A and B are shown apart, each in its own frame.
Chain A
Amino acid sequence: MNAAFRIPGAGRLRQATASFSFDDKSYVGIDGDTLASALLANGVHLVGRSFKYHRPRGFLSAGAEEPNALVQIVRDDARKTPNVRATVQELYDGLTAHSQNRWPSLAFDVGAVNDIASPLFSAGFYYKTFMWPKSAWKNLYEPKIRAAAGLGVSPDRPDPDHYAARYAHCEVLVLGGGAAGIAAALAAAETGVRVILADEQAEFGGSLRFESGAKIEGEDGFAWAQGAIAKLKAMDNVHVLPRTTAFGYYAQNFVGLVERVSDHLKSPGRELARERLWQVRARRVVLATGAIERHMVFADNDRPGIMLASAARTYLNHYGVAVGRNVGVYTANDSAYAAAIDLKKAGVNVAAIVDLRDNPTGPVIDEARALGIEINFGRAVIRAGGKLRVSSMTVQPKNGGGERTIPVDAILMSAGWTPSVHLFSQSRGKVAFNEETRRFVPGTYAQDCVSVGACNGTDGLAATIDEAYAAGAKAAKDAGGRAGKSAKPKVDASESWSRGMLGAAPGAGPDTTVKAFVDFQNDVTAKDIRQAVHEGMHSIEHVKRFTTNGMATDQGKTSNMHGLAIAAETLGKPIPQVGLTTFRAPYTPVTFGSIVGHARGALFDPTRRTAIHPWAAAQGAVFEDVGQWKRAWYFPKAGEDMHAAVDRECVTVRKVAGLFDASTLGKIEVVGPDAAKFMELLYTNPWEKLEPGRCRYGIMLREDGFIYDDGVVGRLAPDRFHVTTTTGGAPRVMHHMEDYLQTEFPHLNVWLTSITEQWAVIAVQGPKSRDIIAPLVEGIDMSDEALPHMSVREGKICGVPTRLFRMSFTGERGFEVNVPADYGEAVWEALWAEGQKHGTCAYGTETMHVLRAEKGYIIVGQDTDGTVTPNDAGLDWAVGKKKTDFVGIRGMARADLVAKGRKQLVGLKTKDPKVVLEEGAQIVDDPKQAIPMKMIGHVTSSYWSENCGRSIALALVAGGRDRMGQTLYVPMPNGTIEVEVTGMVFVDEKGEHLNG
């Protein structure tokens, strides 16, 4: 308790001491301090350097609106939080903080040269200066600006903390826990409805923490608040959330809150989240967000030691800290008098009160005079002296005249109070300007909410409690609460003030060039705003962006109204005509961690694994991500790289056979009396005449005629189709089918069921495939006559049910064995054991891709891109010519889709067989043309084919099928590659292998 500026007996902190460090110097504070109050208790005012001019800065406020005192809090290497407002950071024993934006030290900062050179850095400086040469933006200006910009240092390690999240519902959500919020919560709680009361501070009470003149129910206002909170906490239907900021007000009374759970603790246990995101849906919202005091706009009003009068009062009355020993007061309303009176009574010398008003009267003025404080009416502070700490204030009659300089070590200022309409405005409510009190207050409501107290422009504690209590009771009643007994708190004494001034004070007017700050955090002066208007920014939105007024992390809580007033004055328009800029979420900065919550790392997105995944993993498969699926990419043997493994797998499949896990294929069962009719409408192919037991390759279009999906469809019975889709397409195909079934073809009696995860699919492909499968199958005749290519049978394999498809995505004799997923791994292992007798291999998706490309089988989404018709892809044969309706039939006939010269899918062979083209590479027909060349297509698939002994590729080329045998060119950074246009089939053109 030996800090020099802690006043014995003052304030409410009576706890143990806590030691902390700031810029590597040790200090002692008290539990319950904020970092700001603890530093002030030690006489430290200089805590930061400003963003643009690197001017020394101290504490402006004692709360969330703080623009200046941003520090870095360091717990360890991974926990270095930049831009923490020292005014809200609670002190804990061992807290380590550093100042920001200074080098080499806070007191001597080289960057302060910007202050001297400030005429170069006026409003719009970036826009004007970094215009040319154009190329310098990317290489010179942007990197330099980025390096110079920003405050603090972000940690370079992953965030080790965890963040919780919860959804909550309540009838009445009260935002703000000052006198108004508490009164509203008390009234609502009495009715029995669910109430949540949240406040950003550690302790409830709001402005009662500094209003020494408030008495409620016979008690000091702050003490009453603590009692009321204890009562609310004890009620089952009430949830009281301290340290919780309502940062965003969204549609239908959906409010985002962030609760700071452990940032105030010395060593938070791992069981505690750092923060908790609350997403609250409330029937009614009561906004009791209070008001924020404004500073006076005068020359050098940013010197450390110059602060809001209410802040100085808070430091004194709550924390027991005097912000100076010889303070000056500069005000345009009554509230600063109360600060002067409290400080004077605590033994601090008040050098003078300077009041812009001519002859104000009232009890506080009388009291200040009675205490012997010098009061100067009709005068302005035209300048502050000092650099690292204010040393004087220069006073002049507001209409000009002799100057007088008064030595001070702090200046307390108040230009009046701005109602905090941020959340109201975020709720899409429209604010209205009250001409008499010159402030924006809630006007038209857009949601089921109500504003009470200072944020509603209600002055005086008794009026506030009346209004808030009634609003809380009404909100609860409207939300279904029973009539509660009224227990409205009785106000015995209160303070009241209103009015004040907006804009620049005399001495910082249009005829001056002084630095009178409007926005401290972005270093915006009154002159900057006038200049913006003079340079043609006539909309407040333009003024804001040109000057960056109100665009810092404090979002202009103290600066917006001053900025608006100066712009309005310069424009010669009344304030409401100029209008307020829009309030945006978040109210105060929110960590990414709290938004992300648990959804990171392994929990960012679900991972889907097939039944056969463990076997593949044990075999050393390399996996690739396909949507949410992990798919075996290739199975390297010892010493093999990817190419060697894929080459071996490709050759083995064509010579012997291979096993492939095709379980990720989307599968949908289409069942019902009208199943065939439905299939006719959803696919281009004819289905009515497909016999049960046979399969067909189906193409699905969108209504625009472009290919949407494809897959083999087996007809199990007249009323039952087993449809397969692409791996990535399964959910959207299901959605597409359901859409048509429910809304366009509801007359069809059909049921759709996703069966993707019900069936594991083992593809056995290659000349020996039948030999591998046959010994394990019961009840299915495997002969070519009984089970020809493109047929399906139900039976058993290894004693479990199977849907056995004879089909091929390799061009070889092939089967796809569907078994219930639970048996997938066991059946795979049985097939694998059988296959080993023949020398088979397991192959992955890369080999699957190569083998299908060798046969010219397309992959939707790789060889097509949503602008490819069946004709473009060479799939006209799959479109039922006699059909009169299917999705896409009309779109496909559009003039542009049947025009000549469309891009068509063709094969490409490089002239040098060893060169493998890059997928996505552009194709031209004349490599000698000037750049930019006319591109006539691009490579869609390209691989080394060990089976062909050369590279192969598929490409979409304009008029491709008329270019067979032509030489085309693929220009690449290191040379142009010559290619020949070919058919799409590179292996077994006659298709004999399917039965081989």
Chain B
Amino acid sequence: MLLIRCPYCEEERPELEFRNAGEAHIARSTNIAGESDDDFEKFFFIRSNPKGVIYERWRHIHGCARFFNAVRDTVTDKFVMTYKAGEPKPAKLPGASK
């Protein structure tokens, strides 16, 4: 069971308290009704599924209930860091695998 740090509670808590909510930093267009098919496809269907660092949304559903972002390495399954929803993608990652 993974330990995940909730950036709102500022504590590491067991995975049981959290729920994954898919890839992060995929913004919903403010003019979604006017989006082209291609743009909507990219927004709704296409996900990166990388081998290595992935940016994800998680929710501390059995805790503070907040959504937040996390950087996880899909190879080691380790959480590199977590940060609050709305904050930009971190420019530099602490100790990520190459």
Q: Please report which residues of chain B, range 29-61, place their CB below 8 angstroms from some CB of chain A when the two chains form the complex.
A: 30, 32-33, 35, 37, 40, 44, 57, 59, 61
Q: Are A890 and B67 in contact (CB under 8 A)?
A: no
Interface locus among A21-29, A594-602, A734-742 = A734-742
Cβ of A279: which chain B residues have Cβ within 8 Å of it?
1
Q: Are B21 and A890 in contact (CB under 8 A)?
A: no
Cβ of B86: which chain A residues have Cβ within 8 Å of it?
743, 746
**A252 to B14 Cα, complex, angstroms:** 10
Q: Are B40 and A738 in contact (CB under 8 A)?
A: no
Minimum CB distance partner of B1 in chain A: A254
Cβ of B19: which chain A residues have Cβ within 8 Å of it?
735
**A428 to B28 Cα, complex, angstroms:** 38
Q: Considering residues A738, A743, A895, which has the most beta carbons from chain B within 10 angstroms of its beta carbon? A: A743
Cβ of A778: which chain B residues have Cβ within 8 Å of it?
none
Q: Are B40 and A890 in contact (CB under 8 A)?
A: yes
Of A446, A704, A742, A891, the contact of B66 (CB 8 Å cutoff): A742
Q: Are B1 and A739 in contact (CB under 8 A)?
A: no
Known: A703-B44, A738-B65. A251 touches B2 (CB 8 A): yes
Minimum CB distance partner of B75 in chain A: A428
Q: Are B1 and A894 in contact (CB under 8 A)?
A: no
Cβ of B10: which chain A residues have Cβ within 8 Å of it?
none
Of B32, B37, B67, the contact of A894 (CB 8 Å cutoff): B37
Min Cβ gap A600→B in Å is 19
Cβ of B30: which chain A residues have Cβ within 8 Å of it?
885
Minimum CB distance partner of B30 in chain A: A885
Of A251, A428, A890, the contact of B35 (CB 8 Å cutoff): A890
Cβ of B40: which chain A residues have Cβ within 8 Å of it?
890-891, 894
Minimum CB distance partner of B24 in chain A: A743
Instruction: Decide yes or no whether B11 CB sits under 8 A from chain A.
Output: no
Q: Are A739 and B28 in contact (CB under 8 A)?
A: no
Instruction: Decide yes or no whether A281 CB sits under 8 A from chain B.
Output: yes
Instruction: Decide yes or no whether A399 CB sits under 8 A from chain B.
Output: no
Interface of A is mostly: mixed
Cβ of A743: which chain B residues have Cβ within 8 Å of it?
57, 67, 85-86
Instruction: Decide yes or no whether A785 CB sits under 8 A from chain B.
Output: no
Q: Please report which residues of chain B, range 7-24, place their CB below 8 angstroms from some CB of chain A when the two chains form the complex.
A: 14, 19, 21
**A884 to B35 Cα, complex, angstroms:** 12
Give the B interface residue count (CB, 8 A): 25
Cβ of A250: which chain B residues have Cβ within 8 Å of it?
1
Min Cβ gap A27→B in Å is 45
**A223 to B74 Cα, complex, angstroms:** 48
Minimum CB distance partner of A745 in chain B: B28
Instruction: Decide yes or no whether A744 CB sits under 8 A from chain B.
Output: yes
Cβ of A744: which chain B residues have Cβ within 8 Å of it?
28
Minimum CB distance partner of B66 in chain A: A742
Min Cβ gap A359→B in Å is 49
For A872-909 the 0/1 string (1 means CB < 8 A from B) is 00000000000011000111011100000000000000
Known: A252-B3, A739-B67, A894-B40. A446 touches B33 (CB 8 A): no
For A67-79 the 0/1 string (1 means CB < 8 A from B) is 0000000000000
Q: Please report which residues of chain A, range 884-937, place their CB below 8 angstroms from some CB of chain B when the two chains form the complex.
A: 884-885, 889-891, 893-895
Cβ of A891: which chain B residues have Cβ within 8 Å of it?
40, 44
Minimum CB distance partner of A895 in chain B: B37
Q: Considering residues A428, A742, A744, A889, which has the most beta carbons from chain B within 10 angstroms of its beta carbon? A: A742
Minimum CB distance partner of A893 in chain B: B33
Give the A interface residue count (CB, 8 A): 25
Q: Are B85 and A884 in contact (CB under 8 A)?
A: no
Min Cβ gap A771→B in Å is 44
Of A281, A739, A890, the contact of B3 (CB 8 Å cutoff): A281
Q: Are A884 and B33 in contact (CB under 8 A)?
A: yes
Min Cβ gap A168→B in Å is 13
Q: Please report which residues of chain B, range 52-84, place their CB below 8 angstroms from some CB of chain A when the two chains form the complex.
A: 57, 59, 61, 65-67, 76-78
**A893 to B76 Cα, complex, angstroms:** 40
**A893 to B37 Cα, complex, angstroms:** 9
Cβ of B44: which chain A residues have Cβ within 8 Å of it?
703-704, 891
For A243-276 the 0/1 string (1 means CB < 8 A from B) is 0000000111010000000000000000000000
**A279 to B1 Cα, complex, angstroms:** 10
Q: Are B76 and A738 in contact (CB under 8 A)?
A: no
Known: A250-B1, A252-B3. A890 touches B76 (CB 8 A): no
Known: A742-B67, A743-B85, A744-B28. A428 touches B76 (CB 8 A): yes
Cβ of A889: which chain B residues have Cβ within 8 Å of it?
32-33
Cβ of B14: which chain A residues have Cβ within 8 Å of it?
281
Q: Are A890 and B85 in contact (CB under 8 A)?
A: no
**A520 to B77 Cα, complex, angstroms:** 36
Cβ of B1: which chain A residues have Cβ within 8 Å of it?
250-252, 254, 279
Q: Are B76 and A446 in contact (CB under 8 A)?
A: yes
**A885 to B30 Cα, complex, angstroms:** 8
Min Cβ gap B9→A in Å is 15
**A281 to B13 Cα, complex, angstroms:** 11
Q: Are B32 and A742 in contact (CB under 8 A)?
A: no
Q: Considering residues A251, A746, A895, which has the most beta carbons from chain B within 10 angstroms of its beta carbon? A: A251
Of A704, A746, A895, the contact of B85 (CB 8 Å cutoff): A746
**A279 to B16 Cα, complex, angstroms:** 13
Q: Are A735 and B61 in contact (CB under 8 A)?
A: yes
**A281 to B77 Cα, complex, angstroms:** 17
Min Cβ gap A257→B in Å is 14
Minimum CB distance partner of A703 in chain B: B44
Min Cβ gap B28→A in Å is 5
Cβ of B78: which chain A residues have Cβ within 8 Å of it?
251-252
Cβ of B37: which chain A residues have Cβ within 8 Å of it?
894-895
Cβ of A428: which chain B residues have Cβ within 8 Å of it?
76
Minimum CB distance partner of A734 in chain B: B65
**A703 to B41 Cα, complex, angstroms:** 11
Cβ of A446: which chain B residues have Cβ within 8 Å of it?
76
Min Cβ gap B22→A in Å is 10
Of B33, B61, B66, the contact of A885 (CB 8 Å cutoff): B33
Q: Please report which residues of chain A, range 732-759, place their CB below 8 angstroms from some CB of chain B when the two chains form the complex.
A: 735, 738-739, 742-744, 746
**A701 to B77 Cα, complex, angstroms:** 33
**A651 to B77 Cα, complex, angstroms:** 59
Min Cβ gap B51→A in Å is 15
**A279 to B40 Cα, complex, angstroms:** 44
**A744 to B59 Cα, complex, angstroms:** 14
**A739 to B21 Cα, complex, angstroms:** 9
**A890 to B32 Cα, complex, angstroms:** 6
Cβ of A884: which chain B residues have Cβ within 8 Å of it?
33
Q: Please report which residues of chain A, range 137-175, place their CB below 8 angstroms from some CB of chain B when the two chains form the complex.
A: none
Q: Please report which residues of chain A, range 597-641, place their CB below 8 angstroms from some CB of chain B when the two chains form the complex.
A: none
Q: Are A742 and B85 in contact (CB under 8 A)?
A: yes
Cβ of A742: which chain B residues have Cβ within 8 Å of it?
66-67, 85
Q: Are B2 and A738 in contact (CB under 8 A)?
A: no
**A281 to B78 Cα, complex, angstroms:** 15
**A891 to B19 Cα, complex, angstroms:** 25
Min Cβ gap A532→B in Å is 31
Cβ of B67: which chain A residues have Cβ within 8 Å of it?
738-739, 742-743
Cβ of A254: which chain B residues have Cβ within 8 Å of it?
1
Min Cβ gap B33→A in Å is 5
For A436-474 the 0/1 string (1 means CB < 8 A from B) is 000000000010000000000000000000000000000
Task: Knowing that A893-B33, A895-B37 touch, tell me 19 more A-B residue pairs with CB under 8 angstroms.
Answer: A251-B1, A251-B77, A252-B2, A252-B78, A281-B3, A281-B14, A446-B76, A703-B28, A735-B19, A739-B21, A739-B59, A742-B66, A744-B28, A746-B85, A746-B86, A889-B32, A890-B32, A890-B40, A894-B37
Query: 19 pairs across A/B with beta carbons < 8 Å?
Result: A251-B77, A703-B28, A704-B44, A738-B59, A738-B65, A739-B59, A742-B67, A743-B67, A743-B85, A746-B85, A746-B86, A885-B30, A885-B32, A890-B32, A890-B35, A890-B40, A891-B44, A893-B33, A894-B40
Residues of B within 8 A of A (CB): 1-3, 14, 19, 21, 28, 30, 32-33, 35, 37, 40, 44, 57, 59, 61, 65-67, 76-78, 85-86
User: What are the nearest 6 A-B pairs in CB distance?
Assistant: A742-B67, A890-B32, A254-B1, A889-B33, A744-B28, A252-B3
